[in-house]
Amino acid sequence: MKTEEMITRLAEGLRPVRRMPSPPVMLALWTLLAASVIGLAALVFGTREGLDRPMTRFDMMHSLAALLTALLAGLAAFELALPDRDRRWAWLPLPAIGLWLGTMGVGCVGELVRLGAEGIRFHVSWPCLQFIIGLGLPMAGLMLWLTRHAAWIRPGPVAGFGALSAAAFASIGLTLVHPTFGPLMVLAWHGVAVLAVTGLAALFGPRLAWRVPA
Amino acid sequence: MSHAQPLCLMLAPGQVARDARDLRWSTLMAAAQEGDGAAYATLLAECLPFLRAICRARLRDAAEAEDAVQDALLTLHRVRHTYDPARPFRPWVAAIAERRALDRLRRRGRQVARETLLDDAAELGAEGEAEERLAACQLREAVGELPQAQRTALQLTKIEQLSLQEASARSGMSIGALKVATHRALHSLRRRLTGGAP
């Protein structure tokens, strides 16, 4: 088919489209959706004991860094999903991710100094993994749907940052529901779960997104 | 992006013209988003040389470049709701064309790599390869004798492995017509290559 003929066909019976809101508006919508999902999870699973007590310095820093990661990774995903946006948006969430890992790293060192290597018992936290992956994957799916138009633009990075945002929100949700075991366990299992959600979405997200009409 | 830049970096007198044109394209796109088909057709026709320049800068093969232009038009159509009329139109459409041209370039690179591997294998076992070539030649001939609609359906759905929606958008055939044409094409080829009457 000739290109000119294709143009005629595309223009024939053209339907109006709803213009996409700007990335900050999409981020606000996404944050609202994520907060609703976390709130629902807290209602279903119940909040952990001692939630009314003031947070420790570590928990506060960890939650703040996770929130910052969730928001900035979300914004990067919405920006990168648009054709004309600079690819340097991908750098935006990196300081927050660094801060998130940094707070956990500092907490780990503190715990090692306090308890010594023998004092640390390594165990698999299944509830932690299940919660972040169980909540993070459907939320990542929701994010993929919100950024489905990126399938034709930058599917991999958008799916990756979108899922990172979802997993970071799920990690915040976990701190409301599940008692923490100390920085080392938090680092290990939050990290593994967030990595799993982000990796799965980056790998399979683009393939799924291709199947969804923009 | 580097190939698109020379088109954007014009001298001062051109700057005014470019801005006016960008504004016009932006207005036409906003109208297209409202469902104005005539504005859309005008916009795409006016953009066509720009899209061709981007794709031809990336792809040396003229036919391949034209395919990339068509891919870009289809992408533009699918994501037309993502354009914000408050922003310049040209970077938006250029980014789409760049991406489609790069996709074609990568696909072409993979194809060339595969062809090179086959050439190497040919030197090692020419006899088996000759049979394969003959079969390929017969297949190509049989495909060439199919009616145009069946050939297009086969090319898009089985060779390029596009989804039915994509194949339909590309060819202008309905999904039902594509399914029937593909089925008939496969049936004809099977009969022809297994020795049955065509």
Q: Which residues of B touch A147 (CB under 8 A)?
A: none
Whether pLDDT at B125 is above 50: no
Whether pLDDT at B142 is above 80: no
pLDDT digits (tens, 9 = 90+) for A51-66: 677 777 777 888 889 8
d(CA A194, CA A172): 11
Q: Which parts of chain A register pLDDT below 50?
A: 213-214
Domain ranges (residues) in chain A: 21-46+59-211
**Domains of chain B by start residue, with CATH:** 1-124 (1.10.1740.10), 125-193 (1.10.10.10)
CA distance to B3, B32, B54, B135, per residue, from B99 (Å): 12, 22, 10, 36
Average pLDDT over residues B18-45: 91
Q: Which residues of A touch B36 (CB under 8 A)?
A: 14
Nearest beta carbon to residue A83 from set B69, B77, B96: B96
Beta-carbon count within 10 A of B48 CB:
16
Q: Which residues of A touch B170 (CB under 8 A)?
A: 1
d(CA B112, CA B1): 24
Angle formed at CA A51 by CA A48 and CA A56, multiple of 5 degrees: 120
pLDDT digits (tens, 9 = 90+) for B92-101: 999 999 999 9
Give burial (CB, 10 Å; 0-12/13-18/19+) of A42: middle
Strand runs labelled E in chain B:
none
pLDDT digits (tens, 9 = 90+) for B41-83: 999 999 999 999 999 998 888 888 998 999 899 899 989 999 9
Is the Cβ of A87 closer than 8 Å to some Cβ of chain B? no
Residue A32, token pair as written in the block: 């609202």
Mean pLDDT score across all residues of chain B: 77
- Residue A62 has a pLDDT of 80
Average pLDDT over residues B128-146: 60
Among B152, B128, B75, CA closest to A154: B75
Strand runs labelled E in B10-164:
none
Chain mean position to CA A14: 36
